[in-house]
Amino acid sequence: MKAIGLIIVVLVGALLFYSTQDFPIWGDPNSPASTHIATYHLEKAYEETSVPNVVTAVLADYRGFDTMFETGVIFCAGLGCFVLLRLFRKRDDDSYYRHVSTGITLHIKRGRIPDASSEFERIDTLWTPYDLIVKNVCRILAPFVQLFALYVIAHGHYSPGGGFQGGVILGASVILIAISHDMRTALGRIGEKTIHILMAVGVLIYSGVGALCMLLGTNFLDYASLSKILFTNEIQARSLGILFVEVGVGITVMAVMISIYNNLSSDGRQDEGL
Amino acid sequence: MIWELDLAILILVIVAAIGALQVKDLLGCAILFGAYSFLMCLLWAIMGAVDVSFTEASVGAGVSTVFFVAAVFRTTRRTKD
């Protein structure tokens, strides 16, 4: 069976290598991809949207529908992980606590110490080391990571970046807190309900901007009509429309990343994680 | 494009990919996959696709490695085959 698989893989690989010979060479200006419509975008994108980064202009303006449904796909991925993984039963096995001032670990067979107790803090069942340096470095690092993420979202017009990348980095900063402390700390900062509301809010912002354009009298996601309510010309309105849409994408992607991580690493119980 | 750099990274991509397939330890596999993503990100950057490269670095090398490690943490570290 293995031999047959190997033969098939080698044959298909050889076919693929053979067919790549017909591809246009890399960076060929006469290839079909760069003669059909790319020249129009490269020449006109800055005039029409005042966005120097053509990739952002194409992604969020000329190809806005596609990006909207990409955001929808990410939203559905988050919902799918939630439906498949989330368990609403409480973990009923033993729990572990650490006495804060002495560092002694308590193992409690049944019952719990109330969460409000300041003498004891709950620790994960799989023992996690108490590491002051890792905790504090990650706690200090997180705001800078978030600041960089906001820069990536807001500066996507001028440099590489945009909603997807910035959203992932924002989500990663919360995941960093969850890994370096524990999941309950991260959920204390941004709760499960908030995450799921944010997941929907991002998609709503994106499609809401599109619907607003329709209300103002142009096509869906044609940001030029936003100039009527933003008091700018149509070119600036398209640039600002791209920014609104990127913010929506960023919010959804951030919330989905946190939600998937929380469900995946805590077995769907959202109390003890990695 | 510097072709020596390109060739070195291409070879490393293939090494990382074969390593990720062959390794028995799934945690090591996740790390190798992260390395593969990062090398792909370098390749995109060499080809001038900076936005794709940024996405690959943040999603492929960053968050998806964390997801793989989380999945390994909740399942097993050894493969059957």
Question: What are the residue ranges spanned by the domains of chain A?
Answer: 1-28, 37-87+129-265
Strand order in the sheet with A120-123: A105-108, A95-99, A120-123
What is the distance in angstroms between the CA of the first residue and the CA of the last residue of chain B? 40
What is the distance in angstroms between the CA of the first residue and the CA of the last residue of chain A? 39
3-state SS assignment for residue A106:
strand
**What is the reported pLDDT for A37?**
85
The answer to whether B18 faces chain A, any CB pair under 8 Å, is: no
Per-residue pLDDT tens for B16-63? 999 998 898 999 999 999 999 999 999 999 988 999 999 999 999 999
Separation CA B5–CA B1 (nearest Å) = 8
**What is the reported pLDDT for A116?**
67
**B56 neighbors B63 (Cβ within 8 angstroms):** no
**What is the reported pLDDT for A21?**
87
Tokens, residue A271 = 């109390």
**A253 neighbors A156 (Cβ within 8 angstroms):** no
With a cut of 0.85, is the ipTM above it?
yes
The answer to whether A250 faces chain B, any CB pair under 8 Å, is: no
Q: Letter for the amino acid at B70?
A: A
Checking if the pLDDT of B80 tops 90, the result is no
Count the neighbouring beta carbons within 10 Å of the beta carbon of residue A150: 14
Residue of A nearest to B72 (CA): A265
Q: Is A172–B58 a contact, with Cβ atoms under 8 angstroms apart?
A: yes
Residue in B44, B55, B59, B66 to test binding to A, most A beta-carbons within 10 Å: B66
The answer to whether B54 faces chain A, any CB pair under 8 Å, is: yes
pTM of the complete model: 0.90
Which residues in A lie closer than 8 A to residue B59 (C-beta atoms)? 164-165, 168
**What is the reported pLDDT for A142?**
94
Count the neighbouring beta carbons within 10 Å of the beta carbon of residue A24: 12
Q: Which residues contact A61 (CB under 8 A, 6 or more apart)?
A: A49, A51, A221, A223, A238, A241, A242
Tokens, residue B64 = 């998806």
Q: Phi, psi (5° rounding) for residue B80?
A: -80, -40
**What is the reported pLDDT for B38?**
95
pLDDT averaged over consecutive 10-residue blocks of chain A (274 residues)?
Answer: 92 94 83 84 89 91 92 95 88 76 81 74 74 91 95 92 92 93 88 94 95 91 89 90 94 95 88 78
Q: Letter for the amino acid at A80?
A: G
The answer to whether A169 faces chain B, any CB pair under 8 Å, is: yes
